[in-house]
Amino acid sequence: MATQQPATRPANPRFSSGPCAKPPTFDVTKLADAALGRSHRAAVGKDKLKAAIEGTREVLGIPADYRIGIVPASDTGAVEMALWSLLGQRKVEMLAWESFGSGWVTDVVKQLKLDAEVKTADYGQIVDLASVDFNNDVVFTWNGTTAGVRVPNGDWIADDRIGLTICDATSAAFAMDLPWDKLDVTTFSWQKVLGGEAAHGMLILSPRAVERLESYTPAWPLPKIFRLTKGGKLIEGIFTGATINTPSMLAVEDYLFALDWARSVGGLQGLIARANANAQAVFDFCFENNWIANLAEDEATRSNTSVCVKFTDARIQDGAAFAKAVAKRLEAENIALDIGAYRDAPAGLRIWCGGTVETTDIQAMLPWLAWAYEAEINAQTVAA
């Protein structure tokens, strides 16, 4: 017998982990001031690119002596630019506990063929952070988007490190406190926590990272799209808005809008509070229902953005099919879009809780998740 549908629906069913929901006040008319059909090197374009960089610095609290660049190819572009430009001088330690971190391992081990110590953990767990040797360059993902597992903080990163830390923070920036003094390279993309458009990535370099760039030349060739130095000196223009190649000025306008919205909700601390409230609603739901659990085993590592959950009901016969059917049912009802677990992750759901999502929408969605779960349990029983 089908259970009754809840009375309240989320106003916005968008819970995708990327591209993420636009800020609640977004509509396309807000982009009317975009410098469209103009050169990005004209004053109007350059001013907007510079505002995107300095707005990022202001909202994220990035130190004045860190460089911030807008780069091509989204977060992937920013990470790979860092790996190809900086690595090779010393041993590398790669930390991975989900799909994207594993992708960076493939880059370093199979493509760059570097001497790397690879530390991995299964989905739901995290590597032993206390074992990291900071004489090495260390590459890690702050928040593993496909596992919903994040590093708890930056305390495990040595202040007196010799190597560089390279951090993919794409689903962490604007939702979690990032300790800039511990991070030499940080990357994220516009399409994540602020709900911006895809295509562009941000590359944030500490003075130590710049020093490496200016004192070390990798043994391999670098395509123009990855080149951060010229004649042994940093190309400063990249970090003031003179992008390597042509950016989308529509995406830039959209990012400027998102930054303004971020300021309007209290900046970084406001965004963190919104993500925490969203994630807490899902955590509470898991606590109250014995058929669903957070994939992240250790509470301290639970993401407040890409919250991953698994079904734990022993009656479920085919976990992957069950989770897909629940997600499909919620999508068909226009209650929750794009919440199926990532293709390489264990069966389950992934509910985006970043600050652009309204807590009232999470709260309205969760009873529907219970409804869809019960409906699928019933459907499975009828089919058996």
Ligand X SMILES: Cc1ncc(COP(=O)(O)O)c(C=O)c1O
- Shortest reach from residue 111's CB to ligand X, in Å: 16
Residue 186 sits in the site that holds ligand X (CB under 6 A): no
What is the CA angle 370-374-379, rounded to 5? Answer: 145
Contact of 333 with 368, CB cutoff 8 Å: yes
| Span interacting with ligand X, options 6-14, 24-32, 74-82, 215-223, rule CB under 6 A | 74-82
| Span interacting with ligand X, options 70-78, 86-94, 297-305, 353-361, rule CB under 6 A | 70-78
Number of residues that bind ligand X (CB under 6 A): 12
Nearer to ligand X, 6 or 103 (CB): 103
Would you mind telling me the total number of residues written for the chain in this entry? 384
Find, among 174, 202, 199, the residue nearest to 251 by Cα: 199
The phi, psi pair for 336, rounded to 5°, reads -150, 120
| Span interacting with ligand X, options 131-139, 147-155, 165-173, 235-243, rule CB under 6 A | 165-173
End-to-end alpha carbon distance in the chain:
15
Q: Of these, 102, 136, 189, 303, which contacts ligand X (CB under 6 A)? A: 189
Find, among 295, 302, 282, 297, the residue nearest to 363 by Cα: 282
Strands 306-311 and 292-294, bridge-based pairing:
antiparallel
Q: Of these, 45, 75, 279, 282, which contacts ligand X (CB under 6 A)? A: 75
Torsion of CA 10, 13, 18, 21, to 10 degrees: -60
Residue 305 sits in the site that holds ligand X (CB under 6 A): no
- How does 352-369 read in b/e, with b if 16+ C-beta sit within 10 Å? bbbbbbbbebbbbbbebb
Residue 304 sits in the site that holds ligand X (CB under 6 A): no
Q: Of these, 16, 85, 102, 145, which contacts ligand X (CB under 6 A)? A: 145
* Side chain identity, residue 350: R
What is the CA angle 199-203-208, rounded to 5? Answer: 165
| Span interacting with ligand X, options 35-43, 68-76, 279-287, 352-360, rule CB under 6 A | 68-76
Interface with ligand X in residues 365-384 (CB under 6 A): none
* Side chain identity, residue 186: T
| Span interacting with ligand X, options 55-63, 69-77, 158-166, 317-325, rule CB under 6 A | 69-77
Residue 168 sits in the site that holds ligand X (CB under 6 A): yes
Q: Of these, 66, 84, 97, 100, which contacts ligand X (CB under 6 A)? A: 100
Task: Write the CB contacts of 332 (distance below 8 Å, at least 6 apart in sequence).
Answer: none
Site map for ligand X, 329-368, x if CB under 6 A?
A: ----------------------------------------
Q: Which residues bind ligand X (CB under 6 A)?
A: 18, 74-76, 100, 141, 145, 168, 170-171, 189, 191
